[in-house]
Every structure is written in structure tokens, then in C-alpha cells.
């Protein structure tokens, strides 16, 4: 009777702006036989550039959907704690990752995605046919906040409200500045990661963004996965803000003051669950 090898999916989670692109390239070197997805599904444009806006709207709704990415209706389902929809979205994402792994004949897959913990994780819990692991990629929260502010995007396209009652940390959004919204998202990401791993009884591995160019730190992390890996030759860092002409992340004195005010709002019992950044 044939046996089916149990697949392993490793989620690499962060609030975004934390070196995911650089880390995905490291994983591709270390695990060349694995499937490594970076914020997939990306859009496969086919129409001329002048139609890109309309094609993007269509494809994100019907093909490479926001829901497969972890946005759109996933956020609303999380806010409403609609477990049936979250299960449907999570299973669809799980099947999509497995299909990509099958295309590469891979038993190991990496999902490098800042959207995963926005609700897909709830729908993907307790799937006995797949072994899960998780790595959190941790950037200094003030630097992370400033990097997002430099982008000047709509916070709520990618995040639920800080006031959502189902958050691990619930804060009144009316009392938060735009920057403090991103500090909340930073906290919420790692709190949800900790809770997911505790519920799934899996180890939560961790590496800091600033360690991505440190061969010793990378090798230490790779060893802790318990998986065979190949040596890394290129630790070149990718800065997607700079590639978009937005410049380097330079923390301002006002950012530090905003952060000080924010941390006063966070209970000590919540702070104790967050990753250390020193």
C-alpha cells in the first residue's frame, strides 16, 4: 500500500518591512529543492501597461485573489470571527501552497508573507496531513514604523483596526497616531505568532532583520529548523523602499517620542509576550 510523505510548510511571519525579500533569497539558496513563496500569489500581468490598473483589480478579485494573499475578505472575516469563512480561506491557501510544492516536486515549502497572520492562520490550524513550523522575522519596531510611514499607504488595506475586539492587543484607534497604528500592527503580528505556535504546539523560531547579513546567525537559525540545508554564498540585502525611490529608513526624534507614548498604553503582560529587540 503506497505511503504519502507528509508535507512541511514553514511560515515566515513579520508585520512587513522587515527584510522578507532578503530572507526569501537566503531560503532559496539554503533549500534549493523547496518551494519558497514571497507574498504569493503575485499578479501575472498579460495586458499592456496602460491597462495594468484594471487588470490588477480584476485579477485580485478573481484569479490571484486578495484572499489567497491574506487580505480583502480575510480581514473582515477575522474582525467578525467568522470561523467558517476563515476555514475556507485558510484551506484554499493551504491547497494553493501544496499545488506549488507539487509543481516543484517538493516536500518542503516556505510561505514568506506578512499577511498570513491576518486571518489565514486561523483557517489553517489543525491540519494533520501537513507539518507546520514558524519563523518570525523581527525588526526594531520604531524602524519598522518609519519604513511604513515612508511608504504613505492606507493602513487598513493590510490590517484590521487596532480596536478589533478579537485582537491580542486591543487599543482605541482614535487615540493612536498613524505611526502608532504601525506599532500596534508590529505587536499584533508577534502576539498572534506566539499564540498560533502555542496552540499548534510548534516551536517559534526567531531571527532579527539586522542579522540577515550575519552568516553565523543565519546558520544557527537554519540548524534549528532541523532540516538539511546548503551553504549560503550571497547575503546581499534587498531594500524595496529604496528600489521604489523612497530612500533609506531614518528614524526621527518624533518617531521615538511617539513610540514612548505608545508603549505606555501596552500592558506589561502583553509586553512580556513580544520578542526582544536588544
**Alpha-carbon separation of residue 52 from 58, 64, 110, 256 (angstroms):** 10, 14, 29, 39
Q: Decide if pLDDT at 2 tops 80.
A: no
What is the spatial distance between Cα 89 and Cα 83, in angstroms, rounded to a whole number? 10
210: pLDDT strictly greater than 90: yes
Domain boundaries, the chain: 7-271
Distance from C-alpha of 167 to C-alpha of 153, rounded to nearest angstrom: 22
Q: What is the pLDDT of residue 9?
A: 98
pLDDT score, position 5: 75
What tens digit of pLDDT does each residue of 180-189 get? 999 999 999 9
Cis amide prior to 210 (ω within 30 degrees) = no
Edge-to-edge, what's the strand order for the sheet holding 108-112? 35-38, 108-112, 7-13, 130-138, 204-208
Q: How far is CA 84 from the centre of its chain?
A: 22
- What pLDDT does residue 242 have? 54
What CATH topology corresponds to 7-271?
Rossmann fold (3.40.50)
Please give the Cα distance from 158 to 206 (Å, whole number). 23
Let me know: does 134 contact 270? Beta carbons within 8 Å: no
pLDDT tens for residues 50-78?
999 999 999 999 999 999 999 999 999 99
Determine the Cα–Cα distance for residues 207 and 219; give it in Å rounded to an integer.
Answer: 11
Quickly list DSSP for 123-163. Answer: HTS--TTEEEEEEEEE--HHHHHHHHHHHT--GGGT---TT
Q: Give the three-state DSSP class for 208.
A: strand
Percent above pLDDT 70 for the chain: 96
Query: Mean pLDDT, the chain, as a whole number?
Result: 94
Distance CA 66, CA 54 (A): 15
Residue 266, Cβ density class (10 Å: 0-12 exposed, 13-18 middle, ≥19 buried): middle
Task: Please report the sign of the dihedral spanned by the C-alpha atoms of residue 7, residue 8, residue 14, residue 18.
Answer: negative
Report the SS3 class of residue 111: strand
Cell numbers at 93, concatenated: 491557501
Tens digit of pLDDT for each residue in 219-278? 999 999 999 999 998 788 776 655 555 678 999 999 999 999 999 999 999 999 999 987
**For a pLDDT cut of 90, what percent of the chain falls above it?**
90
Q: How crowded is residue 269: how many other Cβ atoms within 10 Å of its Cβ?
A: 7
Let me know: does 153 contact 245? Beta carbons within 8 Å: no
Amino acid at each position: 500500500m503506497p505511503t504519502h510523505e507528509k508535507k512541511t510548510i514553514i511560515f515566515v511571519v513579520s508585520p512587513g518591512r522587515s527584510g522578507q525579500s532578503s530572507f526569501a533569497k537566503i531560503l532559496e539558496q539554503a533549500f534549493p529543492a523547496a518551494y519558497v513563496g514571497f507574498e504569493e500569489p503575485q499578479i501575472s500581468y498579460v495586458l499592456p501597461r496602460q491597462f495594468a490598473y484594471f487588470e490588477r483589480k480584476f485579477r485580485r478579485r478573481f484569479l490571484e485573489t486578495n484572499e489567497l494573499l491574506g487580505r480583502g475578505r480575510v480581514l473582515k472575516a477575522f474582525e467578525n470571527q467568522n470561523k467558517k469563512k476563515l476555514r475556507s480561506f485558510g484551506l484554499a491557501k493551504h491547497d494553493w501552497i501544496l499545488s506549488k510544492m507539487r509543481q516543484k516536486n517538493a516536500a518542503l515549502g516556505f510561505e514568506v508573507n506578512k499577511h498570513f497572520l491576518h486571518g489565514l492562520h486561523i483557517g489553517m490550524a489543525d491540519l494533520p496531513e501537513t507539518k507546520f513550523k514558524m519563523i518570525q522575522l523581527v525588526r526594531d519596531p520604531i524602524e519598522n514604523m518609519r519604513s511604513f510611514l515612508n511608504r504613505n499607504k492606507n493602513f487598513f488595506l493590510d490590517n484590521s483596526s487596532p480596536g478589533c475586539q478579537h485582537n491580542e492587543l486591543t487599543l482605541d484607534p482614535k487615540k493612536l497616531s498613524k505611526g502608532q497604528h504601525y506599532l500596534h500592527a508590529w505587536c499584533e503580528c508577534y502576539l498572534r505568532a506566539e499564540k498560533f505556535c502555542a496552540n499548534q504546539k510548534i516551536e517559534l523560531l526567531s531571527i532579527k532583520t539586522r542579522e540577515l547579513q550575519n552568516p553565523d546567525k543565519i546558520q544557527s537559525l537554519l540548524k534549528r529548523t532541523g532540516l538539511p540545508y546548503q551553504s549560503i554564498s550571497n547575503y546581499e540585502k534587498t531594500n524595496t523602499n529604496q528600489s521604489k525611490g523612497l530612500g533609506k529608513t531614518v528614524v526621527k526624534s518624533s518617531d521615538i517620542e511617539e513610540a514612548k507614548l505608545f508603549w505606555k498604553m501596552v500592558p506589561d503582560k502583553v509586553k512580556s509576550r513580544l520578542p526582544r529587540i536588544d
